[in-house]
């Protein structure tokens, strides 16, 4: 295995190399598994293009992102909904850079991405908790201040329990 391949396989993120038509040329095992394939070979032989793995709701903005990447050379931390081979959709954060030949002409794209489903779930839970506590504080007749394990109620600090 070359150093390049070893490097790709040690990354925790998914890496896929596409040509200018969106065909997958290379990928690491993390990408194959995230897409729902057992191996890189299975992913690459699937015939899927970049456009096949993007959720239809995000396809329209894909062409603009690719054009922007071609003009700027790189696009970072773009959120897209991607598709697994079973058709299920998941949120991903993607960074793309343009590959070039020896003359500096674009030959394709390197896409580095990660599944951010867990981050999205945690963000939603945090927003729900913040909304709940905000409503409690806004409706309280007394002054309420929450600190680490203690709450100020009626001018006195009292221990409070954290509920999950």
Q: If you write DSSP's letter for every residue of 110-145 in order, what string do you get?
A: EEEEEE-HHHHHHHHHHHHHHHHHHHHHHH-SS--E
pLDDT band at 145 (very low <50, low <70, confident <90, very high): low
Q: What is the mean pLDDT of the chain?
A: 86
What SS3 state is found at 100? strand
Segment 137-153 mean pLDDT: 65
Distance separating alpha carbons of residues 137 and 116, to the nearest angstrom: 31
pLDDT band at 5 (very low <50, low <70, confident <90, very high): confident
Domain ranges of the chain: 3-115, 125-159
Q: Look at residue 72 and tell me whether its pLDDT is greater than 70.
A: yes
| pLDDT per position as a tens digit, 99-144 | 999 999 999 999 999 999 888 888 878 888 887 777 776 777 666 6
Tokens 């070893």 identify what position? 6
* pLDDT at residue 162, as a whole number: 57
* pLDDT at residue 77, as a whole number: 94
* pLDDT at residue 153, as a whole number: 65
* CATH 3.30.450.20 given to domain 3-115: yes
At 135, give phi and psi (nearest 5°). -65, -40
């Amino acid at each position: 295995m070359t150093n390049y391949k070893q490097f790709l396989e040690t990354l925790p993120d998914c890496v896929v190399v596409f040509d200018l038509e969106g065909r997958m040329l290379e990928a690491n095992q993390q990408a194959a598994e995230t897409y729902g394939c057992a191996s890189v070979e299975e992913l690459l032989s699937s015939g899927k293009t970049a456009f096949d793995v993007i959720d239809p709701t995000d396809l329209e903005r894909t062409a603009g992102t690719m054009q922007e990447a071609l003009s700027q050379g790189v696009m970072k931390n773009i959120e897209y909904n991607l598709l697994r081979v079973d058709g299920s959709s998941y949120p991903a954060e993607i960074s793309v850079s343009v590959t070039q030949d020896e003359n500096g002409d674009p030959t394709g794209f390197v896409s580095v991405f990660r599944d951010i489903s867990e981050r999205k779930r945690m963000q939603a839970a945090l927003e729900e908790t913040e909304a709940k506590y905000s409503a409690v504080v806004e409706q309280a007749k007394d002054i309420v201040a929450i600190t680490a394990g203690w709450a100020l109620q009626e001018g006195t600090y009292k221990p409070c329990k954290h509920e999950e």
